[in-house]
């Protein structure tokens, strides 16, 4: 489905980003992945290549314009174009608002939201020149629900939806599609560190589907939004949450 497409994916050393990178590569894309976990990122790229795919790893922080710009330049030098950008890197530590330090608030916005300003500023000129492109931003269904104690996180993910909608309007004339996924509770190693079994069960009980959602569930929707199957859509958010939120 993505034969010879060039895809850039942030935060792909593990979890949802890794699943997206593996699925895209299995569909014929050349994937360029960036993660602050340089070793993990390299392991994922090597494993994709061992499976017959094409993957290039870069260690780097999405909070650094220098890292992001060097990564995007490198991908263009190596692959000649950029067809897809998936803004996936993100963090989700819990913190009660009244005991939240200003720095915790800032790190959250910088990692989850301003990072997308950096990647989009680096990638969009190339897509404009090509007169085509697909961007998928990872938000969260918690934006619709609110979540305690995650005000800094939910605010950052609401910003992602605002950015998606506004840029979709601005970039439509260049044939660039910008959409968003709002995942529900996805079973990842990182989630297991902050969510107890009891909390996971409660979230599953709120879903219509009675199973834990996996990174591949999100990756499949990301594939749809990155392929020609979604050519009539831009500025949209799709809930991948097992039927939890229905608006």
The site for ligand NAD (CB under 6 A) is made up of 11, 13-17, 35-37, 61-63, 88-92, 111, 138, 140, 183, 185-186, 188-191
Looking at the Cβ atoms of 165 and 187, the one nearer to ligand NAD is 187
Q: Coil, strand or helix: which one is 188?
A: coil
Q: CB of 142: closest distance to ligand NAD in angstroms?
A: 7
* DSSP assigned state of 82: -
Q: CB of 174: closest distance to ligand NAD in angstroms?
A: 25
Pairing type for strands 6-10 and 30-35 reads parallel
Cβ atoms of 84 and 29 closer than 8 Å: yes
Q: Which of 117, 12, 133, 2 is nearest to 76 (CA)?
A: 133
Q: CB of 64: closest distance to ligand NAD in angstroms?
A: 8
Q: Coil, strand or helix: which one is 125?
A: helix
Structure tokens at 203: 């979230």
Looking at the Cβ atoms of 126 and 188, the one nearer to ligand NAD is 188
Among 56, 71, 143, 153, the active-site one is 153
Structure tokens at 32: 């360029």
Q: Is there a catalytic annotation at residue 247? A: no
Looking at the Cβ atoms of 16 and 124, the one nearer to ligand NAD is 16
Residues taking part in catalysis: 153
């Amino acid at each position: 489905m993505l034969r010879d497409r060039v895809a850039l994916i942030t935060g792909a050393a593990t979890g949802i980003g890794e699943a997206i990178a593996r699925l895209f590569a299995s569909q014929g894309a050349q994937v360029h992945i960036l993660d602050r976990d340089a070793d993990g990122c390299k392991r994922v790229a090597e494993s994709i290549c061992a499976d017959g795919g094409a993957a290039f790893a870069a260690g780097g922080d999405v909070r650094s314009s220098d890292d992001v710009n060097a990564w995007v330049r490198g991908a263009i030098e190596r692959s000649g174009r950029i067809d897809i950008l998936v803004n996936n890197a993100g963090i989700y530590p819990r913190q009660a608002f009244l005991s939240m330090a200003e720095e915790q608030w800032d790190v959250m916005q910088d990692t989850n939201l301003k990072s997308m300003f950096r990647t989009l500023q680096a990638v969009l000129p190339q897509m404009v020149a090509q007169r085509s492109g697909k961007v998928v931003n990872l938000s969260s269904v918690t934006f619709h629900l609110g979540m305690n104690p995650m005000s800094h996180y939910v605010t950052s993910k609401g910003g992602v939806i605002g950015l998606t909608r506004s840029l979709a309007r601005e970039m439509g004339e260049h044939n660039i599609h910008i959409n968003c996924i709002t995942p529900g509770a996805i079973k990842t190693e990182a989630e297991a560190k902050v969510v107890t079994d009891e909390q996971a069960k409660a979230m599953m009980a709120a879903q219509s589907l009675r199973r834990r959602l996996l990174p591949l569930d999100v990756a499949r929707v990301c594939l749809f939004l990155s392929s020609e199957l979604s050519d009539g859509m831009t500025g949209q958010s799709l809930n991948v949450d097992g039927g939890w939120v229905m608006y």
